[in-house]
Amino acid sequence: MRYLAKVHVRWDDLDAFGHINNAKYLTYVQEARSDFTWFSRQKAGKTPLLFDMVVARAEVDYIEPIYDGGMDVDCQIWITRIGNASFEMEYEIIHKGVIRARVKTTQVAVSVETKRSRPLSDEEREFLAEYLEEPK
């Protein structure tokens, strides 16, 4: 199963070439990830999870540029690996039915008290497992 988030593209996300600046794609997946683990769960009356995770690695494959601003794009999210304290997420940013970018991040759960990695809880593992897909 994949989670679908809507992410707003602002006019000032466009660069001198008239397309979305490459750095903005990481902002889009960050916003989608926040919706996935926090805001959508709050709206459903569930406790937000993984507020204490950090990005340890990010990779972006830019496939097709987006030349529009002031609208929303779709961001699909799924999980490809669940480890002891980390997990991998993949994303597809889709505009007008076309995959424009693929992103992969490695997330690490961190203890707020110690500022060090911590094991994922059973509740977090169960949540992530709902979206687990084999990597392509």
pLDDT of 45 higher than 90: no
Asked whether the CA dihedral 43, 48, 51, 54 is positive or negative, the reply is negative
Please work out, in degrees rounded to the nearest 5, the angle formed at the alpha carbon of residue 25 by the alpha carbons of 22 and 29: 165
Per-residue pLDDT tens over the stretch 51-80: 899 999 999 999 999 998 889 999 999 999
Please indicate, yes or no, if residue 54 is contained in any of the structural domains: yes
pLDDT band at 36 (very low <50, low <70, confident <90, very high): very high
Please tell me the predicted confidence (pLDDT) of residue 39: 85
Please indicate, yes or no, if residue 134 is contained in any of the structural domains: no
For the question of whether the overall pTM of this predicted structure is more than 0.75, the answer is: yes
Please indicate, yes or no, if residue 79 is contained in any of the structural domains: yes
pLDDT of 99 higher than 90: yes
- Tell me, what CATH number does 33's domain have? 3.10.129.10
Please indicate, yes or no, if residue 135 is contained in any of the structural domains: no
Please indicate, yes or no, if residue 101 is contained in any of the structural domains: yes
Per-residue pLDDT tens over the stretch 80-89: 999 999 999 9
Please indicate, yes or no, if residue 16 is contained in any of the structural domains: yes
Please tell me the predicted confidence (pLDDT) of residue 107: 97
Non-local CB neighbours of 128 within 8 Å, separated by 6+ positions: 79, 82, 87, 120
* Residues of the domain holding 25: 3-129
| Number of compact structural domains in the chain | 1
pLDDT band at 104 (very low <50, low <70, confident <90, very high): very high
Please indicate, yes or no, if residue 136 is contained in any of the structural domains: no
pLDDT of 136 higher than 70: no
